[in-house]
Amino acid sequence: MADIFISYKKENRAGAERIFTALRTEGFSVWWDDSLTPKASWDADIERELSQAATAVVLWTPLSVASDWVRTEAHYAQDRGKLIPVMLEDCKLPIAFLLRQTIDLTKWNGARDDRHWRKLLTWIADLVATKPGNANIPQALTSAQANPYRDIVGKLASGEPIVDGTLVNESTPAGTVFSDGQGLPPMRIVPKGGFLMGASDRDPDRSPFEGPRKRVDIPAPFAIGVYPLLVSEYTRLSGAPPKPSDGTTAMPNALEPAKPAIYISFDDATAAIAKLAAMTGMEYRLPSEAEWEYCCRARSQGRYAFGDAIDTAQAHFASDKGPVPPTRFAPNAFGLHDMHGNVREWTADLWHDTYEYTHADGRAVLEGHGSMRVARGGCWWDQAAQLRSSARQRATRTTRSPMIGMRVARALA
C-alpha cells in the first residue's frame, strides 16, 4: 500500500513526474498510473490504489480541472478525508474545491526548503501518521506526534512546544499548539465532535436563557486560543492598549502585558481580528457561542469542565482584584486555560433568549436584529454560578467592560 496516490492529467506527466520523484526522495512510497501496463485493469487498479493510499495528492492544472476522471478522484479523496490539492499550474479551481486549503507549487523550482513544498510534506506526513480513512479523527487529545517537517517556534509556560502555524493544515492532529507569528496568540487544535448545548433541567442555577438543550455537532476540527487574548497581543494588533470608555479610569494593574485584555468592545474585538487575519492571511474570527461551549466543556458532562462544582483553586472568580495572568490555573481536557472565570469572552452570536435559532452545526447565530451580543465564561468578579459551562451573559456591542475580553478562533482549511 502506497503512502501517496498522485492524481493528474496525462498531458501534465512531466510536472507529475517531478513531484513523484521529489516525494520518493523524501522517503514516501508513491503510486501513479505511469506504472500501469496495457494488460492491467486500469479502473480496478486505480480504484484499489486510491482507496488504500493514506493520502491523494491532486495536481490541478487547466487540463486536469477539465478532466472528469481527475475530479472524480478528487471527490473520492475529499469524501474520505485524505485529499491534498496542489496547484501545479495557474488555473481556476473547480467550485467544489474553492474553500479548501490548496498548496501552491506553480513557482516551485525544486528546492527542498521551499515554504510551499514544506507545507505539502507536512500535510502528507500528518495523514500518513494516521490510518487511511480516519485522517480527520484524532487518536488522542495529547500533544501531537512530532512531524519532521514542522518547525517549533516557541513553548508554552508548561514547556509544550508551539509550532509554526503556516505548516498547520486541516489534518494536523488535535492537541497541536501553533502560532502564526511572534507575539501572536498560541492556538490549539480541537477535534470535531458533538455535545448537548445548554443547561440540564436538574441544574439548580439554570436560567431560562440556557435552553432548551440542543444537540450540536461541530463538523470539523478548528483552532482556538490557548488563553484569552493578552494585553500585549491586543496592543500589537490594535496599535494601542485597550482603554475604558471615555471618562472611565482603568483598574490598577489591569493593563499589564501578560494579563487578559479587558475594556474591549465587540467592535474592538472584530477590528483586532480583522487585523490578525490580514497580517497572517489566515481565517481568524470570534468563536461562535456553540463552539465556545463545546471548547469549555471539553467533553465533560458536568456543570463545569471539572465536574459539578468549582473552587478558587481551579479558576479566578469571586474577587475584587481584576484579572490575573492565565497560566495560574490548570487547563481543561482540551488544553485550554481560563474557559471558566478570569474574563468573560465575546462570541460571534447575536443574543437570543433561547436556543431556538442555534444551528445544529455550531455556526454563529447572526439572524435577527439588535445590538446585544453573547459573552461567555464568567469573570474575576462573578460568583461560581456564572462560570458554569452553560452560563450566558449579554452586552451591547459598544460596551468596554473591565469584565469582558476575547478569545480568537481560526479555521484550518
**pLDDT score for 33:** 85
**pLDDT at 201 > cutoff 50:** yes
Provide the percentage of residues in the chain whose pLDDT is more than 90.
Answer: 87
pLDDT in tens, 23-43: 999 999 999 987 655 545 567
Distance CA 231, CA 254 (A): 9
pLDDT in tens, 99-110: 889 999 999 999
**pLDDT score for 42:** 62
Mean pLDDT for the stretch of residues 268-285: 97
SS3 content of the chain, % helix, strand, coil (to 5): 25, 20, 55
**pLDDT at 208 > cutoff 60:** yes
Cell numbers found for residue 14: 512531466
pLDDT in tens, 384-410: 999 999 999 999 999 999 999 999 999
Which among 335, 341, 334, 292 is positioned nearest to 313, based on CA atoms?
341
Mean pLDDT for the stretch of residues 2-8: 95
272 C-beta neighbours (distance < 10 Å), count: 25
Instruction: Please provide the average confidence, as pLDDT, over all residues in the chain.
Output: 93
Provide the percentage of residues in the chain whose pLDDT is more than 70.
Answer: 94
**pLDDT at 267 > cutoff 50:** yes
**pLDDT score for 371:** 85
**pLDDT score for 130:** 75
Distance CA 9, CA 23 (A): 18
Q: How confident is the model at residue 228 (pLDDT cuts 50, 70, 90)?
A: very high
Asked if residue 387 lies in contact with residue 315, where contact means CB atoms within 8 angstroms, the answer is yes
**pLDDT score for 246:** 79
Torsion angle, alpha carbons of 300, 301, 305, 308, to 10: -150
Mean pLDDT for the stretch of residues 280-290: 97
Residue-range domains of the chain with CATH:
4-128 (3.40.50.10140), 177-410 (3.90.1580.10)
Give the phi and the psi of residue 328 in degrees, each rounded to 5: -75, -20
Mean pLDDT for the stretch of residues 204-232: 97
**pLDDT at 143 > cutoff 50:** no
Mean pLDDT for the stretch of residues 73-97: 96
